[in-house]
Amino acid sequence: DLKPTLKGLHFLGDFLDTHSVSSHSKGMIPIPGLTLGKEYKAGNDLLNKFDAITNSCPNHIDKTFIYGNHEDRYFRHIANSDNNKFADALLSPQQALNLDARGYTTLTNWKEDYKLLGNSLQLIHGEYCTQSPARTHMNKLKSSVMFVHTHRIDICYDGEKAGFNIGWGGDSNAPCFNYVSRITKLNWMNGFALVTIDENNHFHTQVIQVYKDHFWYGGKKY
């Protein structure tokens, strides 16, 4: 529905869980039958759906894929001396998801990299899991910021600066998330954000909550 005006698509990290190389499950088979190849296939299938939309937009779509700490599991896995011998044979998320061919700018340093929208809105993966992560990230960066790391939604404004913690997009009941408690997952909230950059390069943001597999936007239920 937004194709006529869409200008960008930005993934802020943990698009993949890369559960099969997680240190949480070191020495075990965490989920029988789950492999990194299957995770990569699921990621490609989903990106194909996004490509079907962005490739048919009338405008050029600026696309960004920022690694999160979960994609970073790949680097931590091959940094292990027992695994490093396979490093040149094990595809990275960037390679396996064909991100270059899909037209994404890939940012692989999850703690340092960011995408700037307009004059002042930094898109990052996020790092801090405090009681009010939006305020913490905004104060630490001394800038307006949007992130996803905590899987929660909270928003903070301080004058023209703002922090947007925009949730996540996943199924908390999936077995790969059993490394955290049920109480922790009760605080997770599915969501995403739409950002409009005006003629003065200032951002205007709508954070959209996904509730029980649907959301409302522009008076329409999706």
Closest CA to 110 of 14, 24, 16: 14
* For the chain, percent of residues with pLDDT exceeding 70: 97
Residue 78 confidence (pLDDT): 85
CA 198 from centre of chain:
24
Q: What is the pTM of this model?
A: 0.94
Residue 140 banded pLDDT, cuts 50, 70, 90: very high
Residue 24 banded pLDDT, cuts 50, 70, 90: low
* For the chain, percent of residues with pLDDT exceeding 90: 81
Closest CA to 146 of 165, 169, 173: 165
* pLDDT digit string, tens, across residues 146-183: 999 999 999 999 999 999 999 999 999 988 888 889 99
* pLDDT digit string, tens, across residues 33-80: 889 999 999 999 999 999 999 999 999 999 999 999 999 999 988 888
Average of per-residue pLDDT values in the chain: 93
All residues at 6 or more sequence positions from 12 whose CB lies less than 8 Å from its CB, including other chains = 66, 68, 123, 124, 125, 126, 146, 147, 148, 166
Secondary structure (3-state) at 48 = helix
Residue 65 confidence (pLDDT): 98
Residue 89 banded pLDDT, cuts 50, 70, 90: confident
Residue 82 confidence (pLDDT): 79
Beta-bridge mates of residue 158: 161
Name the helix (H) or strand (E) containing 7.
Answer: none
Alpha-carbon dihedral of residues 130, 148, 207, 161, nearest 10 degrees?
60
For residues 6 and 56, give the distance between their C-alpha atoms in angstroms, rounded to a whole number: 11
Name the helix (H) or strand (E) containing 134.
Answer: helix 133-141
Do 134 and 122 contact (CB within 8 A), yes or no?
no
Secondary structure (3-state) at 24 = helix
Do 125 and 14 contact (CB within 8 A), yes or no?
yes
Residue 30 confidence (pLDDT): 67
Do 153 and 171 contact (CB within 8 A), yes or no?
no
Query: What's the whole-number mean pLDDT along residues 194-211?
Result: 97
How far is CA 68 from each of CA 9, 16, 29, 139, 159, rounded to the nearest angstrom? 16, 9, 23, 21, 29
